[in-house]
Copies of this chain bind each other. A is one copy, B any other.
């Protein structure tokens, strides 16, 4: 039975364990057995609570990603806010989310690449909640007002997402290259919250 008290329910223990294992081993590397071990329970129990691996991971993803949507929406709502400030807020929110849930970028990538149907029905619906169209309009409008130089909105979107996401995807590679430990690399990622925004703004301004 699920209690309201401080004791974690088994269900929550499994969710915590799954998040940990996914963060450590990535989506594909996360075994149901690993999750059960990490939670200190039996593998069958994981299936008892979450029908199968896919629905477990989809739930975890939604819980993490759903928090991002209102933030991003809020950022692009106020049409009075400075365009550059919106870019700052965006990279901040996005990298913050990825720092808290390092498995998300690879999760999305995997869903997109290996399971196009599931992606179209599930993830895509989530992602469509993000106001990309608002962002595109903002860009065009900023170009009109001569606030920024002309740029193709989708290209800019790819620039920004690439800079935000890629370091999380290629973390082990960069760590090796730069000869950094986990903490040092995280610091580098923290800095990117403003670093990326600065880079973009510097490039766009006339």
Contacts and interface: CB of A to CB of B under 8 A. Distances in A.
Given A28-B114, A132-B177, A149-B202, A163 B170 contact: no
A203 interface: yes
Copies of this chain: 2
A199 B203 contact: yes
Q: How large is the interface on A (under 10, 10 to 19, 20 to 34, 35 or more residues)?
A: 35 or more
Contact of A167 (B106, B158, B167, B200): B158
Interface in A87-144: 106, 108-109, 112-114, 116, 119-120, 124, 127, 132
Chain A contact residues: over half helix, strand or loop, or mixed?
helix
Interface of A: 26, 28-29, 106, 108-109, 112-114, 116, 119-120, 124, 127, 132, 149, 152, 154-155, 158-159, 161-167, 169-170, 172-174, 176-178, 188, 191-192, 195-196, 199-200, 202-204
28 contacts: A26-B113, A28-B28, A29-B113, A106-B113, A108-B170, A109-B169, A109-B170, A112-B170, A112-B173, A113-B172, A124-B176, A154-B174, A155-B191, A155-B192, A158-B192, A159-B163, A161-B170, A162-B163, A162-B164, A162-B166, A162-B167, A165-B166, A165-B170, A169-B169, A200-B203, A202-B202, A202-B203, A202-B204
Given A154-B174, A158-B167, A202-B202, 17 more contacts: A28-B28, A29-B113, A108-B173, A109-B170, A112-B170, A124-B176, A127-B173, A154-B188, A155-B188, A155-B192, A155-B195, A158-B174, A162-B164, A162-B165, A166-B166, A169-B169, A202-B204
The 10 closest A-B pairs by CB, nearest first: A162-B166, A203-B203, A162-B162, A202-B203, A162-B163, A112-B173, A112-B172, A158-B167, A166-B166, A159-B163
